[in-house]
Amino acid sequence: MLNELAMPHKDCIDPIWSLPPSRLLNVLGPADSRRLLPNLLSRFLAWRERARGRHLLLQLDDRMLRDVGLSRSDVDRECAKHFWQP
């Protein structure tokens, strides 16, 4: 009875986050800890390329945008996104 009073919401605790960090990597996905660094590097490079592409879009004038089938509002909408948003 005393334990129930001390932890009344123990059923609400997500068991995945109660695991030690070394086991958490294997539970979160199929990639094991050996793939963690390459996955992070790949994601970082994709974010950087996305930010660079949006920056380059801002530099195009209206004639160039028409040539590629975009409007200024398309560019504004795309460039309003954060670098991590596809």
Per-residue pLDDT of 11-36, as tens digits, reads: 555 555 555 555 555 555 555 677 88
| pTM (predicted TM-score) | 0.58
On whether residue 23 sits in a domain, the answer given is: yes
Please give the tally of structural domains in the chain: 1
On whether residue 86 sits in a domain, the answer given is: no
pLDDT digits (tens, 9 = 90+) for 29-74: 555 677 888 899 999 999 999 999 999 999 999 999 999 999 999 9
Expressed as residue numbers, the domain containing 58 is 2-79
- The closest alpha carbon to 58, from 77, 45, 85, belongs to 77
Do residues 29 and 40 make contact, with C-beta atoms less than 8 angstroms apart? Answer: no
